[in-house]
Amino acid sequence: MGWHGAPFNAADNRHWQLHAHFYPPLLRSATVRKFMVGYEMLAETQRDLTAEQAAERLRAAPGRVNLIGEHTDYNDGFVLPCAINYQTVISCARRDDRQIRVLAADYDNQQDLFSLDAPIINHANLRWADYVRGVIKHLQLRDAHFGGADLVISGNVPQGAGLSSSASLEVAVGQAIQALYQLSLDGVALALNGQEAENQFVGCNCGIMDQLISALGKQDHALLIDCRSLATRAVPMPKNVAVVIINSNVKRGLVDSEYNTRRQQCEEAARFFGVKALRDVSPELFFPIQHELDPIVAKRARHVISENERTL
């Protein structure tokens, strides 16, 4: 069982609740126990990092599981993900200078330090730091009216398990800076900022789904997303349905996987049909001439076109 105070969300709230979480034996890992009782540890680490300066904010963003709509988001299609109760939490405080200092509690307290007044480039050694740096760099392009910050980061979203730990981190970093400096950015803007950071700074051409559900997820609801217009609709989950996530123990990271290759194949198919994205190709257009495509490219396109129909 783990206890923690709530809520930890994008809005300050003076009404606090005490939540108890009961975990079956298979989930009673050291990571889960440390995380569920570790909110106080983040604040303590923040004080150690900042010479007794207390944390000003706690911000959290969840991971996600996609119910249906696979490989459709970067084809401007439709997806139906839901947020999960695994998340990235950031304890944060403003600084008097223009430095961003980051401590990764789950990586043996590794630290990164960089300036807002110098070009923000990829870290030479720390992969996790690039996600933070990318978010900050792209926030500057949206609203440069913020200063330095100390960020202490922890999370229990399994990495490399397809549950969007990177998007959770990107959204949480954006929320932290937004909260410290009252930036006028809504959830959609923070999601887009995270996607741009991953596309242009980290080097993974992901779609918008992961960041959007992390920023806009609602308890007991899935979120139907139109990945072209970014229109969303909360879809209540049936009361008698539970989402069970099973860990296959197959590790992958979007940057290192075949994800970018799959996207290139879909873009090749869209060019063949002369459209912006495969969302614009109907089954009636596709099936009569699919044989003219490379077999693998045709397979990728067929999945996306039919998956959009299934999602809706």
Catalytic site includes residue 186: no
Q: Which of 76, 112, 130, 210 is catalytic?
A: 210
Residues 6 or more apart whose Cβ sits within 8 Å of residue 186? none
Q: What angle do the packed helices 165-181 and 209-216 form, to 10 degrees?
A: 50
Residue for token digits 């330095």? 148
- Give the number of other CB atoms < 10 A from CB of residue 263: 18
The answer to whether the beta carbons of residues 204 and 198 sit under 8 Å apart is: yes
Please classify residue 247 by burial: count the beta carbons closer than 10 Å to its beta carbon, then call 0-12 exposed, 13-18 middle and 19+ buried.
exposed
Residues 6 or more apart whose Cβ sits within 8 Å of residue 115? 98, 99, 100
Which positions are catalytic?
A: 210
